[in-house]
Structure 1
Amino acid sequence: MKVIKFILCLLFGLMFINAGLNKFFNYMPMEKPTPEQMKLFSAFGEISWLMPLVGIVEVIGGLLFIFPKTRALGAIVILPVMVGIVTHVFTLDKSPIGMGIAGVMLLINLWMIIDNKEKYKHLVS
């Protein structure tokens, strides 16, 4: 079980590191956006600091998520980005593959938060 958890966390972290680096270097091709997605992307373009901030959070959160000692912090750092991804995929994208990937990623993130709940107790007391 420990090996499976490590592999899932490694893949999760690497996916977020890759997504964050892509925000800066644009090396992954994108499908042609729908008109609704174009509205969203143009709105994001108006806020020039937003995508670099999301990219930095993805890279840092992904790095933290990989290592067991910092995984609890990484899971919390990634959670707002993960909520944004799930919201986007389930409202605008609606592709079954995207929904599946986003759903699995959200479950992994929630699993790590629940798995590390003891580390969060002092934050909410």
Structure 2
Amino acid sequence: MTARVKIDEDLPRQIADLASARGYDAATVVGQGWQGASDDELWPRVQNEGRWLITADKGFADLRLHSVGSHAGVILLRAWEESRRAYLELAAIALDRLKLDDLAGAIVVVTHQSVRIRRAPLK
């Protein structure tokens, strides 16, 4: 099964192109007309679609709100500067290093120095 991803409105739309080129089913918040939705509105919509959320919004990676295993997955891009180039670089790092199908329910934090993965314990 191929993981499905949703690119949050705070990131360049080209990240969806990167994900699609790597075989993922990618959609954007803006492409669905969901821009401006609050986090509380957006989160259930994304989860109802069974999609990973790729975002720069730290709130979606808050383990107190979204514990690992309780959702499709989150990739948080933590750029050293807020620029299109920096976010595209981080997205490429994540999509090249990770196999999302094997990490369902994880929270992944990607920086230029590291990729940290929090996943649910194996059963």
TM-score by length of 1: 0.27
Higher strand share: 2
Higher helix share: 1
Larger Rg: 1
